[in-house]
């Protein structure tokens, strides 16, 4: 199974930039999208069907043009779970899960705290809740693949300027500590487990020609739970796919 995770920063915008062609040529079995910024009825399902992904599952935010996640797949999952089941967190449309046999694939969009102290505080509360949610879910569904935009750089190697960004949301000590605890609790960062080289990023600011200069952040991950981590065949980042300010990341499991 090959899974691609992609923060599309508006799925309608990404569609206008050739997203469907990319999907058709990708060889992926499952796509996890984040920041769809739309409702399902605002895109044409038959276009995705023609590209080989007839099954789609969305969780949209209450606020129009904001947040939202989706999963598209070639085969129909056995079960789909929409949201957390907690209104406080679900009104922003940040998680959807599809179960394929013993495997469970999650598309998650972790909040950003870059807009101010209130959102940063919300992000930290959200992360605390998410930890408990995942820990409980693993008792029922241990073979998890948690894909998405985590809005956190784990280590200095994951950001182009760790010193200059030491006080920036997304690279704060408490966020990085959360990420470390998440991994240590039994998840494998699929890309970094195979590729320790620097200068590998998945998001670039639109400002200062950051993408062309590769001044980026690696904030998108395919995290694989410990029981199936040995099944990772390969993983990667696709910086040449330019439908968004993010690029796709992927993992393949046997």
Give the active site residue among 29, 149, 189, 220.
149
Q: In whole angstroms, what separates CA 101 from the centre of its chain?
A: 21
CA distance 179 to 127: 9
CA distance 130 to 111: 11
CA distance 245 to 180: 25
- Residue linked to tokens 């950003």: 112
For the chain, percent helix, then strand, then coil, each to nearest 5?
Answer: 30, 30, 40
Q: In whole angstroms, what separates CA 172 from the centre of its chain?
A: 19
Active site residue 149: yes
CA distance 153 to 201: 10
CA distance 183 to 104: 17
* Long-range contacts of the stretch 229-234 (C-beta < 8 A, 24+): 229/187, 229/188, 229/193, 232/188, 232/190, 232/193, 232/194, 234/194
Catalytic residues, which ones?
149
């Amino acid at each position: 199974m090959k899974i691609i995770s992609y923060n599309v920063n508006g799925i309608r915008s990404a569609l206008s930039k050739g997203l469907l062609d990319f999907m058709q040529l990708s060889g992926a079995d499952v796509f996890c999208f984040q920041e769809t910024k739309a409702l399902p009825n605002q895109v044409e399902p038959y276009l995705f069907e023609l590209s080989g992904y007839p099954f789609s599952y969305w969780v949209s935010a209450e606020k129009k043009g904001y947040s939202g996640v989706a999963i598209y797949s070639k085969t129909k999952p056995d079960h789909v779970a929409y949201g957390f089941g907690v209104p406080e967190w679900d009104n922003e449309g940040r998680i959807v899960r599809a179960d394929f046999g013993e495997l469970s694939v999650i598309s998650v969009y972790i909040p950003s705290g870059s807009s101010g102290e209130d959102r940063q505080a919300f992000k930290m509360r959200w992360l605390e809740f998410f930890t408990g949610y995942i820990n409980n879910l693993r008792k029922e569904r241990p073979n998890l693949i948690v894909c998405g935009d985590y809005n956190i750089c784990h280590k200095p190697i994951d950001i182009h300027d760790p010193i200059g960004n030491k006080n920036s949301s997304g690279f704060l000590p408490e966020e990085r500590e959360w990420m470390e605890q998440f991994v240590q609790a039994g998840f494998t960062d699929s890309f970094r487990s195979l590729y320790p080289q620097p200068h590998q990023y998945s998001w670039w600011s639109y400002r200062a020609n950051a993408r062309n200069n590769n001044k980026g952040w690696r904030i998108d991950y395919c995290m694989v739970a410990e029981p199936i981590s040995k099944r990772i065949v390969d993983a990667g980042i696709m910086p040449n796919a330019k439908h968004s300010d993010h690029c796709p990341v992927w993992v393949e499991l046997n």
